[in-house]
Amino acid sequence: MYINGEWLTGRPELSVTNPATGEVIGQVPDCTDQDIEAAITAADCAFKEWRKTTAYHRSQLLYRAWELMIRQKRELAELMTREQGKPLKASLNEVQYGADFLLWFAEEAKRVYGQSIPSARENQRFMVQKSPVGVVGAITPWNYPISMITRKLAPALAAGCTVILKPAESTPLCAKAMMEIFAEAGFPAGVVNMLTVQDPSRVGDAFCTDPRVRKLTFTGSTPVGKKLNGLAAANMKRVSMELGGHAPAIVFPDADPVHAAKGLSLVKFLNTGQACISPNRIFVHEDQLEPFIKELTSRANRLVAGNGMTEGVGIGPLINNQAIQKVDSQVKDAVAKGAKVETGGLRLMDNDLSDGYFYAPTVLSGVTPEMKIYREETFGPVAPVITYRSEDDVIAMANDTEYGLAAYIYSNNMTTAMRAFEALDFGIIGINDINPTSASAPFGGMKNSGLGREGAQEGIEEYLETKLGGFAL
Ligand code: ADP
Specify the DSSP class assigned to residue 268. H
% residues pLDDT > 90 (the chain): 99
| Measured CA angle at 168 (ends 49, 240), to 5 deg | 55
User: What's the CA gap between 386 and 327, in Å, rounded?
Assistant: 18
200 Cβ closer than 6 Å to some ligand 1 atom: yes
Q: Is 161 a catalytic residue?
A: no
The alpha carbon of 50 and the centre of ligand 1 are apart by a number of angstroms equal to: 29
Element spanning 70, H or E: helix 55-71
Dump pLDDT digits (tens) for 394-415. Answer: 999 999 999 999 999 999 999 9
256 Cβ closer than 6 Å to some ligand 1 atom: no
- pLDDT for res 139: 99
- pLDDT for res 351: 81
435 Cβ closer than 6 Å to some ligand 1 atom: no
Dump pLDDT digits (tens) for 180-230. Answer: 999 999 999 999 999 999 999 999 999 999 999 999 999 999 999 999 999
Domain identity same for 231 and 261: no
Q: How confident is the model at residue 91 (pLDDT cuts 50, 70, 90)?
A: very high
Mean pLDDT of the chain: 98
Give a yes or no: residue 32 inside a domain.
Answer: yes
Give a yes or no: residue 422 inside a domain.
Answer: yes
**Is the pLDDT confidence value at 288 over 90?**
yes
Q: Is 242 a catalytic residue?
A: yes
Domain identity same for 168 and 261: no
Give a yes or no: residue 215 inside a domain.
Answer: yes
The alpha carbon of 449 and the centre of ligand 1 are apart by a number of angstroms equal to: 15
Domain identity same for 232 and 252: no
Domain identity same for 386 and 456: no
Give a yes or no: residue 195 inside a domain.
Answer: yes
Domain identity same for 237 and 286: no
pTM: 0.98
Ordered DSSP codes for 147-190? HHHHHHHHHHHHHT-EEEEE--TT-HHHHHHHHHHHHHHTPPTT
- Atom 13 in ligand 1: residue holding the nearest Cα: 168
Give a yes or no: residue 319 inside a domain.
Answer: yes
Domain identity same for 155 and 49: yes
Domain identity same for 324 and 422: yes
- pLDDT for res 78: 98
Residue 139 CA: which ligand 1 atom is closest?
Answer: 14
Options 83, 94, 108, 242, the catalytic residue: 242
140 Cβ closer than 6 Å to some ligand 1 atom: yes
The ipTM (two decimal places) reads 0.94
Q: Domain of 117?
A: 2-243+449-472
Ordered DSSP codes for 94-131? HHHHHHHHHHHHHHHGGG---EEE--SSTTEEEEEEEE
Average pLDDT over residues 441-461: 98
% residues pLDDT > 70 (the chain): 100
Dump pLDDT digits (tens) for 21-56. Answer: 999 999 999 999 999 999 999 999 999 999 999 999
Give a yes or no: residue 467 inside a domain.
Answer: yes
Domain identity same for 278 and 422: yes
Give a yes or no: residue 444 inside a domain.
Answer: no
Ordered DSSP codes for 224-244? HHHHHHHHHHHTT-EEEEE--
Ligand 1, from 224, 321, 327: best to mutate by most atoms within 8 Å of Cβ? 224
- pLDDT for res 183: 98
> Domain containing 202 — which CATH number?
3.40.605.10
Dump pLDDT digits (tens) for 328-373. Answer: 999 999 999 999 999 999 999 998 899 999 999 999 999 999 999 9
201 Cβ closer than 6 Å to some ligand 1 atom: yes
168 Cβ closer than 6 Å to some ligand 1 atom: yes
- Asked if 347 and 360 touch (Cβ cutoff 8 Å), the reply is yes
**Is the pLDDT confidence value at 92 over 90?**
yes
Dump pLDDT digits (tens) for 115-141. Answer: 999 999 999 999 999 999 999 999 999
Domain identity same for 422 and 288: yes
Give a yes or no: residue 265 inside a domain.
Answer: yes
| Measured CA angle at 444 (ends 222, 214), to 5 deg | 75
Domain identity same for 8 and 100: yes
If one counts the domains in the chain, the total is: 2
Domain identity same for 355 and 373: yes
> Domain containing 407 — which CATH number?
3.40.309.10
Q: How many CB atoms lie within 10 A of CB 319?
A: 24
Q: How many CB atoms lie within 10 A of CB 225?
A: 23
Domain identity same for 68 and 172: yes
- Asked if 397 and 425 touch (Cβ cutoff 8 Å), the reply is no
